[in-house]
Structure 1
Amino acid sequence: MNNYRGRFAPSPTGPLHFGSLVAAVGSYLDARANGGEWLLRIEDLDRSRARQEAADAIQRTLEAFAFEWDGEVVIQSRRLDHYHAALTCLQRDGEAYPCACSRREIAACAPALAVDGGLVYPGSCRAGLAAGRAPRAWRMRVPDREIAFDDRVQGPVQQNLARAVGDFILLRADGQYAYQLAVVVDDATQGVNAVVRGVDLLESTARQIWLQQRLALPTPTYAHLPVVTNAAGEKLSKQTRAAAVDAAGGSAVLAAALHFLGHPVPQEVCSGPLHDFWRWAIAAWSMARVPVQRGVFPG
């Protein structure tokens, strides 16, 4: 890939755990194996959960594992003016509209569960707010047709946004910009043309592609890696009490992450210095070897 530009974008809600390390390793190796750049972005828009100490700890852990990112670390909470500008464009063009619905009202008339576990928005405010109703949020109009793309790991993917999620939130009732809008704006601003992340975000991709199209932004390639689960089949996260990775484990810990991604590592590399691990791993990396499984418990 020419002029490859990838990124790792963790949410600072807790320390770096093994699942996040897998995503970091996969995105880093794909960038370096393609002779490209690898950016680091801290996605801290969720003010109720994001913690500065977690962001600092994530960066320290990446540094301890000898990850090397290009340029300055981008912090989403410092980029609100960019999201405001994008939302203003969508409002001006009639792509976004105000919504007065509460969660209870949506639940009372939603036609089905959305692919992300929420509710398919029934379009109650699509034609305008009812008399006496005040806007609570802003939503993105979606088409009743398939959005399709070829994922480098998962293969061909298609999703009808109207049936899968309905018109989705861009600006929440609490004044917080939605992840979908922020990530699209940030990827375009940073020139990211290759997204490598966990398969738990696969269902978000069609929404992001639709936003890219309506904002006249380029669409990167996508590769959704298998996510790590615990013994109960739950994705590793702060909510499932995932343990922090210990950088003192050095190459052996990185080798476990790479093995999870379909690349067994020779014992001498597992026990060697970090510099040798990265040199071997970059040379060995192939996205074609990454398994498709959506969740695998690593022994």
Structure 2
Amino acid sequence: MTHAPPAYVGRFAPSPTGPLHFGSLIAAAGSFLEARGHGGRWLLRIEDVDAPRCVPGAAAAILRTLERFGFEWDGEVLWQSHRHAAYDAALARLDALGALFPCACSRRELADSALARDGSRVYPGTCRNGLAAGRSARAWRVRVRGAVDFVDAVQGPQHEDLEGEVGDFIVRRADGLYAYQLAVVVDDADSGVTDVVRGADLLDSSARQCYLQDLLGLPRPRYAHLPVATNAAGEKLSKQTLATAVDTLPAAAALVAALRFLGQNPPTALAHATLDEVWQWARAHWTLAAVPRVRQQPARDILPDPGSTS
């Protein structure tokens, strides 16, 4: 008996560390249009597991901005801060598999170790075979072996020697919080996510996530990593680089700019259309094949004027 593949389930997962910027809009639009283009569901997850970095009120502002831009998600919003029991269970599973070990190393010690070697940031395996006398666990790491291969729908075939290029990585931090890598893997699996469409700044995380999925016996989603928008200095648009909040931009024109950035070639006249008209065109013409196969590209020449009313 043959079984039909699972229905397409995509997601957008912003972190509430500040307002959405143009780079966020690109990721949201790409993931939304790819999901709808497959007749699939599009979920929204607020990645607030890293509580110290979250800004009060940012999550609510993100939801308002998405609504202002006409995004419609399926089901309830998932909050990572409500998911600690699921992460506990995954950590216990990794421990039962013998894949975990406690690590006593501080960031300073690891930095000093890297300088003493060849400058490599690969975890040197200091605590892999047990803690030194008098040391106590700070974090928990996953024991890594081998390499990971997968094919990205935009960036093409990917290969990472996890053991040689990353080393044993943290899944529970010294402050007791769960690392992004574990949280996102558990959340995607529990939500039935089949396809992850996001910025290429997260491409390097994918191999670690695939490794955890394989260890935990979870299905690997398909991946598509979109180009990351940069400023005039070549820096990724972010809160740290003082990126303009997308909520200050005219919604229809900003969405057209995002479509242009993603290689969709919207007609010039669409810049003066209503938001509903832009979405109608986008859903009718979206194709992932047109997205540029680069990891980053400048956005400065396509962003609309914040003072524009179009």
Q: What percent identity do the matched residue pairs reach?
A: 60
CA distance in 1 between counterparts of 2:162 and 2:130 reads 20
User: Shift of the alpha carbon at 1:131?
Assistant: 1.7
CA distance in 2 between counterparts of 1:228 and 1:203 reads 17
Q: Check the 8 A contact 1:99/1:135 in 2, yes or no.
A: yes
CA distance in 2 between counterparts of 1:113 and 1:188 reads 36
CA distance in 2 between counterparts of 1:208 and 1:107 reads 24
Q: Check the 8 A contact 2:194/2:221 in 1, yes or no.
A: yes
Q: Check the 8 A contact 1:151/1:224 in 2, yes or no.
A: yes
TM-score by length of 2: 0.92
Match of 1:90 among 90, 94, 110: 94
Q: Which residue of 2 aligns with 1:62?
A: 66
CA distance in 2 between counterparts of 1:113 and 1:154 reads 28
1:5 to 2:22 alignment: no
Q: Which residue of 2 aligns with 1:30?
A: 34
CA distance in 1 between counterparts of 2:119 and 2:210 reads 21
CA distance in 2 between counterparts of 1:120 and 1:199 reads 21
Q: Check the 8 A contact 1:170/1:177 in 2, yes or no.
A: yes
Q: Which residue of 2 aligns with 1:128?
A: 130
Q: Which residue of 1 aligns with 2:206?
A: 205
- Equivalent runs, 1:1-299 vs 2, <5 Å: 3-110=7-114, 111=117, 119-143=121-145, 145-246=146-247, 249-298=250-299, 299=301
CA distance in 2 between counterparts of 1:268 and 1:2 reads 38
User: Shift of the alpha carbon at 1:282?
Assistant: 1.1
Describe the SS at the equivalent of 1:48: helix
TM-score by length of 1: 0.95
User: Would you say how many aligned residue pairs link Structure 1 and Structure 2?
Assistant: 294
User: Shift of the alpha carbon at 1:69?
Assistant: 0.2
Q: Residue 113 and residue 225 in structure 1: after superposition, are their counterparts in 2 closer, same or farther (change >3 A)?
A: farther
**1:188-213 superposed Cα distances (whole Å, 9 cap, x missing partner):** 00000100000000000000000000
The one-letter code sitting in structure 2 at the alignment partner of 1:230 is N
CA distance in 1 between counterparts of 2:290 and 2:6 reads 21
Q: Check the 8 A contact 1:98/1:137 in 2, yes or no.
A: yes
CA distance in 2 between counterparts of 1:270 and 1:183 reads 36
Describe the SS at the equivalent of 2:52: coil
CA distance in 1 between counterparts of 2:290 and 2:12 reads 20
User: Shift of the alpha carbon at 1:268?
Assistant: 3.5
CA distance in 1 between counterparts of 2:29 and 2:82 reads 26
Q: Which residue of 1 aligns with 2:304?
A: none
Describe the SS at the equivalent of 1:222: strand
Once superposed, what is the RMSD of the aligned Cα atoms? Answer: 1.4
Which range moved further: 266-275 or 24-33?
Answer: 266-275
Q: Check the 8 A contact 2:20/2:247 in 1, yes or no.
A: no
Contiguous gaps of at least 5 residues in structure 2: 302-310
CA distance in 1 between counterparts of 2:123 and 2:119 reads 9
**1:229-288 superposed Cα distances (whole Å, 9 cap, x missing partner):** 011111001011111013661221100001000012123333222222212111111111
The one-letter code sitting in structure 1 at the alignment partner of 2:170 is I
Which range moved further: 44-53 or 218-227?
Answer: 44-53
Q: Residue 104 and residue 248 in structure 1: after superposition, are their counterparts in 2 closer, same or farther (change >3 A)?
A: closer
Q: Residue 17 and residue 283 in structure 1: after superposition, are their counterparts in 2 closer, same or farther (change >3 A)?
A: same
Q: Check the 8 A contact 2:21/2:244 in 1, yes or no.
A: yes
CA distance in 2 between counterparts of 1:72 and 1:52 reads 21
Contiguous gaps of at least 5 residues in structure 1: none
